[in-house]
Structure 1
Amino acid sequence: MNSRKRRGYAAAAATGASLALVLTACSGGDNDGGSEASASTDCAAYEQYGDLSGKEVSVYTSIVDPESKQQTDSYKPFEECTGATIKYEGSREFEAQLPVRLQAGNAPDIAYIPQPGFLKSIVADYPDVVVPAPQAVQDNAKEYYTQSWIDYGSVDGTLYATPLGANVKSFVWYSPSAFEENGYEIPKTWDDLMTLTDKIAADHPEAKPWCAGIESGDATGWPATDWLEDVVLRTAGPEVYDQWVNHEIPFNDPQILSALQTVGGILKNDKYVNGGLGDVKTIATTPWNEAANGIPDGTCYLHRAANFYQANWDPDLKVAEDGDVYAFYLPGKTEDDKPLLGGGEFVTAFADRPEVAAFQAFLSSPEWANEKAKVTGQGWFSANSGLDPSLLQNPLDKLSFDLLTDDSYTFRFDGSDQMPGAVGADAFWKQMTAWIGEDQSDEKTLDNIEAAWPAS
């Protein structure tokens, strides 16, 4: 999820309650000249970073309130145990301003880059400014992250960045009680999903199987891009997906056209959408964070959306397998075919001072992931396999973490976030909106996006 998508999420999300840090007694040494570790903080795991008293590390990111407080709270043990100070700056203009700062020689020590494509462009444009990951970060990456995540943080075989947070997009939201009442089962394959869709349409002509919405202010259209990306993974496979994202095949390749037609078989089918909201065209004007309200209302039964959609449910609704709403994995062609679409941010350094390397290593460690889980209410998890799942505070976060760290699933990063900005955050969004709202043809939609791809 890039920073513009994040703003839509943050605006809809409730602030997660910060939890008290209940840790064992401090075992670290004194921090002369710095803040001394409190008696409630166990500093044993932080001794590897050394005494950083009086040192400061600046962090620049697109993560703003309310999530920024959860970020800064998660750094407190590092600050207390090492004596370092973390200077945090969140900006809604991050993507525009980071290159400006790099060009002006005013680089932050650390930046959280929300797209692998942006990371690649930064490395290409400022090769003498971006610092390859230090050995401690490389070691953590090998131990705690799958190869896919390492690859997304690498450019030309060099690791520059490790993931911060993560999200899973391959989910379908539903009502467990509605499924139980109607005898519906969680689909295990794509064909099962379509059979279920047809059964819901037949059983409930007054409602619709699916509900959807792609309106998101200046980012309108991004939920539709997720639909296509998920389906490309399922119909064409991960290798073709990679070729498509990297423009090794054209955007309007026949395999992508076939995937868009599959998406249209749901989203542009009046028998299937738009439960409780209107006809197909209402998808283009329905706010993405309100689109699934028909599930608890009984006017729709299925809604494809990421794990972070949980922040948009009424607080009185229980998100659980036996609750009011929950989500199941969007199935592949077969039970053994397990593509997984997701996203996240990447920790990138622009200074090679010891304190910067230490903080970057901390952010790639289980200690940080666990600390972040403690201070976040819900809707956050990491791809770090060292994260203690018992710290995740709701079942969907735990399920998302399990999927991300399960090697039997084939993970791919959000495609639009990897593409050039003129495509992924402009033409792709706009043309998918026209495809829905104006009933623009499949061919014209893909041709227009292909025409927007930069020549070099």
Structure 2
Amino acid sequence: MNGLRKRRGYTAAAAAGAGLVLVLTACSGSDDDGGSGDGASSTTDCTAYEDYGDLSGKTISVYTSIVDPESQQQIDSYAPFEECTGAKIEYEGSREFEAQLPVRLQAGNPPDIAYIPQPGFLKSIVEQYPDVVVPAPQAVIDNANEYYTEGWVNYGTVDGTLYATPLGANVKSFVWYSPTAFEENGYEIPTTWDDLIALTDQIREDHPDVQPWCAGIESGDATGWPATDWLEDVVLRTAGADVYDQWVNHEIPFNDPQILEALGTVGSILKDSERVNGGWGDVTSIATTPWNEAAQPIPDGACFLHRAANFYQANWDESLKVAEDGDVYAFYLPGKTEDDKPLLGGGEFVTAFADRPEVQAFQAYLSSPEWANKKAEVTGQGWLSANNGLDPALLQSPIDKLSFDLLTDDSYTFRFDGSDQMPGAVGADAFWKQMTAWIAENQSDEETLDNIEAAWPQ
């Protein structure tokens, strides 16, 4: 499972979808002309697209790991650009994206645009193919500086040069719960880490037959990745953002004492049989519980708390209302204090391998509020952007709106998913596997971190 799909929480339907290649034709205001279907509109205001010029007869190729059914939402979001400029977008989605993109670059057959799912992957592409990847043009730089926080811009920057701007985004620092259960029991949303632990213990006291937390890290070949998110979130809370950056960049060893302390804090929940695994079994059941099913005991009261990203909303039964006054919802995973607001998340980045005017224009469009708003409009729910020009009224899901508020609030300190920034041998291999052994085999904290540190490429 590649990094983009594992992080964005693709559903079973998406996993079943095959890679596809779709060629879009320009729109002239009618769906009868072979255009992008309901993504286009005869009433599109093309004023914002005038600077892109007339691109009739031009084609831009896009390569990504976003496959069917999510691919259609991407395709529909390009319709205004095609309609207003006359360009055609040739879209190719592949589940083998991360393996095949380097092959294509090596063979001299790069796409015009690729959606890179991790900053670490972007950095390796820039280092290995410096003459192939193209720095962002000025229009993209301007959009990046105007519509994104400095942190997001930095994640698309390598050695001082901006190469990529964010596409979609997600927020991982959430705890899912039942608003009804909280109201019935008089529980309040915790605003500090100590409050969260006090709530955990209160739930256990009030419901002695229930473990308050439920968790699951089973994810096929990617089993273990939800546990890495736990550690990353807690490192931000116990050690702080600066130490987190040093850890991710291997400026301190993976088994640094500060990381050991953070893992112990994670273990105070995930390895405590009094606190976990409600509705599923003992601590070891976390390793075999599918990550996308792990929170399902919450509506039945078999557990009360589950840490997972905003994209977990796609895994709730359609009969459940996901809202602050609904059947299930999520609150921000608190920091040490109310003023300490670390935020863990992820996303994808738009990277170019050609500098033709039409490619630069499309790259600028993808970094603009016009694209973000169109994408939100055609998606419905389950997608958001860190672009502060996005109209939050277009976000139909309450959890998406909350996520957008957090992403664009400067009082929160955002950090990108740590394992997605680490070398593949660590972030997508040893880290997953050792966290799984930590739970399934009760491997010690020290051995777990030592084994991951030993896997770091020399």
Task: Give the TM-score of the pair, scaled to structure 2.
Answer: 0.94
Q: Identify the residue that residue 21 of structure 2 maps to in structure 1.
A: none
CA displacement 1:105-143 (0-9 Å, x = unmatched): 000000000000000000000001110000000000011
Supply the distance in 2 between the matched residues of 1:383 and 1:409 (Cα, whole angstroms): 13
Identify the residue that residue 449 of structure 2 maps to in structure 1.
446
**Residue 13 (structure 1) shift:** 6.8
- Equivalent residue of 1:163, what SS? strand
Q: Distance in 2 between matches of 1:448 and 1:12?
A: 35
Q: Which amino acid aligns with 2:79?
A: K
- Indicate the SS of the match to 1:417: coil
Please state if 1:302 is matched with 2:305. Answer: yes
| 1:339 to 2:342 alignment | yes
Matches within 5 A, 1:19-34: none
Cα shift readout 1:258-283 (whole Å, capped 9, x = no counterpart):
00000000000000000010000000
- Which runs of 5 or more structure 2 residues have no equivalent in the other structure? 17-26
Say yes or no: does 1:3 pair with 2:4.
yes
Per-residue deviation, 1:4: 4.5
The amino acid across from 2:54 in the alignment is: D
The alignment partner of 1:415 has SS state of: coil
Q: Distance in 2 between matches of 1:216 and 1:59?
A: 28
- The Cα of 1:39 is off from its aligned counterpart by 2.6
Amino acid of the structure 1 residue aligned with 2:157: S
Aligned to 1:180, the other structure's residue is in SS state helix
**Which residue of 265, 269, 288 corresponds with 2:268?**
265
Matched, 1:379 2:382: yes
The one of 187, 191, 202 aligned to 2:190: 187
Report how far residue 7 of structure 1 moved.
Answer: 7.8
**Residue equivalent to 1:86:** 89
Alpha-carbon deviations, 1:329-351, whole Å to 9, x = none? 00000000000000000000000
Instruction: Note if contact 2:4-2:348 (Cα within 8 Å) is conserved in structure 1.
Output: no
Q: Tell me, yes or no, if the aligned pair for 2:271 and 2:439 is still in contact at 8 Å.
A: yes
Q: Which amino acid aligns with 1:424?
A: G
Contact 1:3 1:92 (C-alpha < 8 Å) held by counterparts: no
Report whether the alignment pairs 1:253 with 2:268. Answer: no
State the secondary structure of the residue aligned to 1:398. Answer: helix
What secondary structure does 1:423 align onto? helix
Using the alignment, how far apart are the partners of 2:4 and 2:383 within structure 1?
16
CA distance in 1 between counterparts of 2:179 and 2:274 reads 22
Q: Residue by residue, what CA displacement relative to the aligned partner does 1:272-331 show, whole Å, maximum 9, x if unpaired? A: 000010000000000000000110011000000000000000000000000000000000
RMSD of Structure 2 on Structure 1 (CA): 1.9
Letter in 2 for 1:253: D
Aligned amino acid, residue 10 of structure 2: Y
> Aligned match of 1:410 in 413, 429, 432?
413
1:199-233 CA deviation, whole Å, 9 max, x = no partner?
A: 00111011111000000000000000000000000
Shift of the alpha carbon at 1:11? 2.1
8 Å contact 1:165–1:380 — kept in the other structure? yes
Q: Distance in 1 between matches of 2:78 and 2:320?
A: 32
Partner of 1:21: none
Alpha-carbon offset, residue 42 of structure 1:
1.3
**CA deviation profile, 1:366-386 (whole Å, cap 9, x unmatched):** 000000000002110000000
| Equivalent residue number for residue 431 of structure 1 | 434
Q: Is the 8 A contact 2:9 2:312 kept in 1?
A: no
Q: Distance in 1 between matches of 2:212 and 2:268?
A: 13
CA deviation string 1:54-111 (max 9, x = no partner): 0000000011111100000000110111000000001111111000000000000000
Secondary structure of 2:101's counterpart equals helix
Q: Secondary structure at the match of 1:266?
A: helix
Q: Does 1:325 align with 2:319?
A: no
Matched, 1:96 2:96: no
Whole-Å separation in 2 of the counterparts to 1:73 and 1:435: 43
Q: Distance in 2 between matches of 1:226 and 1:14?
A: 21
**1:197 match:** 200
Amino acid of the structure 2 residue aligned with 1:52: L
Contact 1:174-1:301 at 8 Å conserved across structures: yes
**Residues 114 and 143 of structure 1: CA distance in aligned 2, closer, same or farther (over 3 Å):** same
Q: Could you tell me which of 90, 108, 111 is aligned with 1:108?
A: 111
CA contact (8 A) 2:175 2:331 kept: yes
- 1:349 paired residue number: 352
Q: Distance in 2 between matches of 1:414 and 1:369?
A: 22
Distance 1:415 1:222 in 2: 11
- The reply on whether 1:359 has 2:399 as its aligned counterpart is no
Report SS of the residue matched to 1:60.
strand
Q: 1:154 to 1:329 in 2, by over 3 A?
A: same
Give yes or no for contact 2:8–2:311 (8 Å, CA) kept in 1: no
Shift of 1:35: 7.6
Aligned to 2:79: 76
Query: Shift in Å at residue 2 of structure 1?
Result: 1.9
The answer as to whether partners of 1:57 and 1:84 remain within 8 angstroms in 2 is yes
Aligned AA (1:347): V
Among candidates 48, 51, 54, match of residue 51 of structure 2: 48
Q: Residue 231 of structure 1 aligns with which residue?
A: 234
Mapped partners of 1:49, 1:4: distance in 2: 32
**Offset from partner CA, 1:142-197 (integer Å, 9 cap, x none):** 11000000000000111000000000000000000000000000000000000000
Q: How big is the shift at 1:8?
A: 5.3
8 Å contact from structure 1 (residues 245, 415) kept in 2: yes
Matched to 1:247, the amino acid is: H
Does the residue aligned with 1:293 lie in a helix, a strand or coil? coil
- 8 Å Cα contact 1:111-1:349 kept in structure 2: yes
Q: Is the 8 A contact 1:113 1:346 kept in 2?
A: yes
Partner of 2:140: 137
Separation in structure 2 between the aligned mates of residue 220 and residue 114 of structure 1, nearest angstrom = 18
The one-letter code matched in structure 1 to 2:367 is: S
Identity across matched positions, percent: 84
Q: Secondary structure at the match of 1:210?
A: coil
| Aligned counterpart, 2:23 | none
Alignment size in residue pairs: 441
Conserved 8 A contact 1:221-1:432:
yes
Identify if the C-alpha distance between structure 1 residues 82 and 187 changes in structure 2 by more than 3 Å, giving closer, same or farther: same
Structure 2: which amino acid aligns with 1:59? V
- Which of 48, 56, 61 is the equivalent residue of 1:58? 61
Aligned-residue offset at 1:12:
6.0
1:14 to partner: Cα distance: 11
Judge conservation of contact 2:13–2:69 (CA < 8 Å) in 1. no
